[in-house]
Amino acid sequence: MRKTRMGAVAVSAVAAMALAACSSSSGSTTADAPAVTAAAATESAAAPVAGTSTSLGPIPTTKIKVAYASPVQAQVGQQMFDLGASQAAKLSGSTYTSLDSNVDPSKQIANMTTMLQQKPDVIGTWTLDPGSTAGIYGQVVDAKIPLIGTNSNDNGISSTVWTQSQLCESGGPSDQDAKMIAAKYPGGTVVTIGLDGVPSIDSAVDCFKKQAGAAGLKVVAHVSNTSDQPAGAQQLITDTLVRYPDTDAVWSYNDTSALGASAAVIAAGKKVSDGTSDGVMIFGTNGDAAAIKAVKEGRMTRTWDPNSVEFGWVFFADAELAAEGKAPKNVTVTSTGYDKSNVDSWIAPQDRKITSFDQLKYTVGS
Q: Does domain 4-166+307-365 have CATH number 3.40.50.150?
A: no
Cβ atoms of 38 and 172 within 8 Å: the answer is yes
Question: What architecture does CATH give domain 170-305?
Answer: 3-Layer(aba) Sandwich (3.40)
CA–CA separation, 333 and 315 (whole Å): 9
Q: What is the DSSP letter of 361?
A: -
Domains 4-166+307-365 and 170-305 share a fold: yes
Name the strand (E) or helix (H) holding 217: none
Cβ atoms of 159 and 315 within 8 Å: the answer is no
Task: State pLDDT tens for residues 17-57.
Answer: 445 454 333 332 223 333 332 232 223 233 333 344 567 87
pLDDT at 343: 97
CA–CA separation, 15 and 3 (whole Å): 24
pLDDT at 103: 84
Domain ranges, ordered by start, for the chain = 4-166+307-365, 170-305
Is 142 exposed, middle or buried, given 0-12, 13-18 or 19+ CB atoms closer than 10 A? Answer: exposed
**Residues in a beta bridge with 272:** 280
E-assigned strand segments in 15-154 = 52-53, 65-70, 95-100, 122-125, 147-150
Residues in the chain where the model's pLDDT stays below 70: 1-54, 366
82-88-89-92 Cα dihedral, nearest 10 degrees? 180
CA–CA separation, 47 and 362 (whole Å): 9
Sign of CA dihedral 283, 286, 288, 292: positive
CA–CA separation, 238 and 260 (whole Å): 10
Query: Considering the entire predicted model, what is its pTM?
Result: 0.80
